[in-house]
Structure 1
Amino acid sequence: MAPPAVVENLPPSLNSSAEQPPLFDGTTKLYTCYTCPFAQRAWITRNCKGLQDKIKLVPLNLQDRPAWYKEKVYPMNKVPALEHNGKIVGESLDLIKYVDSNFEGPSLFPDDPEKRKLGRELWSHVDEFMKIVYTSFKGEGPKECGSAFDHLESALGKFEDGPFFLGQFSGVDIAYIPFVERFQVYLSEVWKYDITAGRPKLAAWIEEMNKIDAYKQTKTDPIELVEYYKMRFTAQQ
């Protein structure tokens, strides 16, 4: 399913004092941030396709980001963004499909019509899933977000040829895992809520995802994650 593990020496993040790497020099670059869940989607996709040598990581410090990024690279000033074939492509969900379609490596979307149909439904639901859970952080936590995880539990039971959303690993798993990773840690630490309790398929999915090197290498330090979310959400209460 995934290429053999490639252990990378990750480059340091660039801050406002860093010089801009050459633009459109023939090198394919993924502008990213090691702690951003949206950028993590593109990073996982790159790794799953075995493109560590083909797509160079250019990590940014989003708290002190270089001015040249907005001015000369990506006017939206967000990550991820991919520099490829003389253009810049952005938006994390679009990039999963773009990298899958434009580069070598195992396909991240199945041919089976039923799986593609469910994949489209789950793809269109991911923003609503995130919204429900993030909103609950500002309110009563588990009381408000349980339905979001119930939805995932139900979706994970549709196909029996594997523990992933479409049976076998796909771009749908990549779309969800960066956020489930964060929600699981934060809800456990702050609300003492286990998102896998009573949801065996969700528990099995998370366990299987954590066996995938292409994903494991992108995970955020849980302590750092919890502190960031505490700062972001507790301050609003």
Structure 2
Amino acid sequence: MLALRGSLRRLSQALVHQVCSSFTTGHRQQEGTLYEFCTYYLKPANVEEFLYNFKKNVHLRTAHSELVGYWTVGFGGRINTVFHIWKYDNFAHRAAVYKALAKDEDWQEQFLIPNLPLIDKQESEITYLVPWCKIGTPPKEGVYELATFLMKPGGPALWGEAFQRAVNAHADQGYIKLIGVFHAEYGLLNRVHVLWWNESADSRAAGRHWSHEDPRVVAAVRESVSYLESQQNTFLIPTSFSPLK
């Protein structure tokens, strides 16, 4: 009997490990790559000046780390806002970059110090790509949508499979182009961001209409929303200097 209990306990532990390693942090921690979501809330009168100054000095910043994308908020969120994503190899890399920026006199004098007064508030969130997703490449210039989901506590081990099916149901049917799925590590936990690309706001609206009538998408979404607390969709317009356009 003791031997049987021991075997069952080991089997249970193995199953738990298998589930958690598929949907939690194992893959991400091994790779280490993280993505910092930066949101700057600008004073209304200063948006154009801030963007002009960043465009002029963007090379000073990208000399230190990779810029994934840079957008302004069109609607669905607070306007006069810029949103950008930076890629780092790991936390040590991010710390080294910020240390180098603090010593970069050109960056400090030409951009940071003159433009800090233009920023009303800023936020930073550390995220990882989910294990089943890689950064996509848009087929041409377009617009973006950041869909932010607050899921029920429990993490991807609880809702990961259902969420993955819902995202892939939209992407696989061609209603919208998937760019990336990011799981928050520092910030509001149990939050997942899905970055989509579309040719235009109107093509996005048409695709959304058709997806709502697709039984495959409807079934996948119905399963996923049982784990959903809230959702916000933000329409993003890429800047001229954004790598993702």
- Normalization by structure 2: what TM-score? 0.29
Q: Which has the higher strand share?
A: 2
- Normalization by structure 1: what TM-score? 0.30
Q: Specify the structure having the higher radius of gyration (Cα).
A: 2
**Greater RCO structure (CA 8 Å; 6+ sep):** 2
